[in-house]
Structure 1
């Protein structure tokens, strides 16, 4: 699915960007203005955004209106009047309006205001979906937003990571000869633990790039991927039901301090042992999952079922209760964040 369509239908970032609309108010343009601008069919009965600072000047230029419209749909690509705004922008400035939007977004990124940068890059993508610079810059802004987020919740980081990944995947298709697309896509895969995709993507970067320093950096990373690639092979064995092969590979890392604090290693080992009917070993592994990921409800569910099957009712009920506590806490945290975002908007 093209990125502009994803923005319209599966927007991951709307909740974090729409608070930026708090300084905008909406009003309809006069009939005389619509007639003079030749946009009656597009904009009659359509409220347009005015920034509070715009109202003080008591003027409304075509550029100001188009910029405000772009900002609104960049915040919320499913906005009710999105198509009217896009039609207005195209009629008055054409798809080239995406270029100044990217330039303004880059200015925000330089100031480390990555959310505003994301908004403008998203708007540029909606104005001209075929503009590769907008896609690349949006990916960079998403990457920088989560990389610089010290106190952000896990959901924020996860959503921005997923958005960056989608951007760089599309960018490498739009600009297959640009090495930097593969550079950032490789890191996006690496951050998700997709080591084979990381290797293949970095291979493409090394094939294309002439950046000596970056080539050395990526080559060094490639050398470190050998063991993670084996672990990924082991997890794929488990996922495909080849439990014995998965255990053979993954169990080698149980005492390896480089990898044995990685909770998925223990989760996949536990899954493999359970698949082979070895409940004791499965329990041992899922307990290790909770050692490194204490709120992991999937591991708790496994332990609840395993203890029940072993006739240890009290332990089974213990994990059933823990699951309830963790999920209630998670829902309370989500509700608190929703309220905070709502207060920001009001």
Structure 2
């Protein structure tokens, strides 16, 4: 099983110490053979310190303490070198004392969750689904705790970490519904993940499925309210999907009715502009891109589209003006290529060479840039 969040919890390994148990030493577990070279086993620092303070280290550093720390390191680092050996130890130890390992990991996770120690809670669940990758309850609760940890990173304004935890939660929830398509709570949470990603159609479908499967009354009301409030966003997504499918007229039928209630929604205006441009109604398209620049004067995509509209009507001076403005905001290979080609079409070879070669410096693998360079070679 793969995890997106592992690098953020690896530091928890600092809470463990390692001691070597010998193949022929006194420490034995029925049904498990310690490797001939011995085995480095983990122990939580707190257990070690407690043993030293009470001068009863031998009593505190017992098989249960070692088993717990093995679970902990498996949950921290899925690639740890001794994990396979630890799993053999855990299997033998749990059989010996008749311990349900899954239940134990679930219990420890809940214990830490209840006191707000969400990372420790997550580590036990991560160990659980590492060893039992198709355990539905483990996957589901892992996703829920990931969401809690993501909130902590959001408070710390660490968006990269927050997004990793949310994506991991999303993946595990998707696996839950693959394994059991009637698991309503997973659909409920998935709806929010898709909503937050701007996948409104998908969110609506998932939430409607959650309602069919059955949620408690409060959650039912919440989901129904969400579906109602997002109706215009669903219509927007349907519209831009049609445009990207090469059906601009049908896309406009979805998008234009939204404009009256959302005149400052620049994304909506942008998609309407694209639809008109695709229909070769260039002047109408320009009106929408210009509206965007009133709301967001430095919206670079709208500036580029204005440049493309001007180029389409062979107004190269105006196109160059727009592309130069865009390039000052964002030095992007595609923008520079547009600028270079506009100069080329305007008869200015030197500036065309400069900007297209600069685009190539920024990204020599870019297909558009390579194509522009080939075109440029015809004029050198």
On whether the aligned pair clears a TM of 0.5, the verdict is yes
For the 8 Å contact 2:183–2:213, the answer to whether it is kept is yes
Residues 1:34 and 1:245: Cα distance change in structure 2 (over 3 Å): farther
Which of 298, 311, 314 aligns to 2:320? It is 311
CA contact (8 A) 1:143 1:164 kept: yes
Residue 8 of structure 2 aligns to a residue whose secondary structure is helix
**Quick one: structure 1 residues 85 and 285, their matched pair in 2 at CA, closer, same or farther if it must change by over 3 Å?**
farther
1:117, 1:155 → 2: CA distance? 21
**Contact 2:139–2:176 (CA under 8 A) maintained in structure 1:** yes
- Are the equivalent residues in 2 in contact too, given 1:304–1:320 (CA < 8 A)? no
TM-score, structure 2 as length reference: 0.69
**2:256–2:272 contact (8 Å) kept in structure 1:** yes
1:126 to 118, 130, 143: 130
**Correspondence 1:269-288 to 2 at 5 A:** 269=272, 272=275, 275=278, 278=282, 280=286, 283-284=289-290, 287=293
Task: Pick which of 82-91 and 69-78 moved more.
Answer: 82-91
- Cα distance between partner residues in 1 of 2:191 and 2:108: 27
SS at match of 2:155: coil
**Structure ranking higher on relative contact order (CA contacts 8 Å, 6+ apart):** 1
Q: Specify whether residues 137 and 233 from structure 1 end up closer, same or farther in structure 2 by C-alpha distance, changes over 3 A only.
A: same
> For residues 24 and 270 of structure 2, what CA distance do their matches in structure 1 show?
67
* Larger Rg computed on CA atoms: 2
Question: How far apart, CA to CA, are the structure 1 residues paired with 2:189 and 2:163?
Answer: 16
* Pairing 1:75–2:76 present: yes
1:75 & 1:105 partners in 2: Cα distance? 13
CA distance in 2, matches of 1:43, 1:163: 39
Q: Please tell me the root mean square deviation across aligned C-alpha atoms, in Å.
A: 3.3
Kept in 2: contact 1:25–1:50 (CA 8 A): yes
For residues 125 and 255 of structure 1, do their structure 2 counterparts lie closer, same or farther at Cα, with a shift above 3 Å needed?
same
Q: 1:242 aligns with which of 247, 255, 265?
A: 247
Structure 2 portions without partners, runs of 5+ = 52-56, 312-318, 334-380
For the residue of structure 2 that corresponds to 1:157, the secondary structure is: helix
Q: Distance in 2 between matches of 1:19 and 1:72?
A: 11
Aligned length: 307
Query: Offset at 1:219?
Result: 1.9
Q: Sort the Cα spacing of 1:305 and 1:253 in 2 relative to 1 into closer, same or farther, 3 A.
A: closer
Match of 1:143 in 2: 147
Q: TM-score, normalised by structure 1?
A: 0.75
Q: 1:213 aligns with which of 213, 218, 240?
A: 218
How far residue 217 of structure 1 moved from its aligned partner, in angstroms, is: 1.8
Query: Aligned with 2:119: secondary structure?
Result: helix
Which residues of 2 match residues 1-346 of structure 1 at below 5 A?
5=1, 7=2, 11-33=3-25, 36-37=28-29, 38-40=31-33, 44-56=37-49, 57=51, 58-59=57-58, 60-93=61-94, 96-148=100-152, 149-209=154-214, 211-257=216-262, 260-261=264-265, 264-265=267-268, 268-269=271-272, 272=275, 275=278, 278=282, 280=286, 283-284=289-290, 287=293, 300=300, 303=303, 307=307, 310-312=319-321, 314-321=324-331
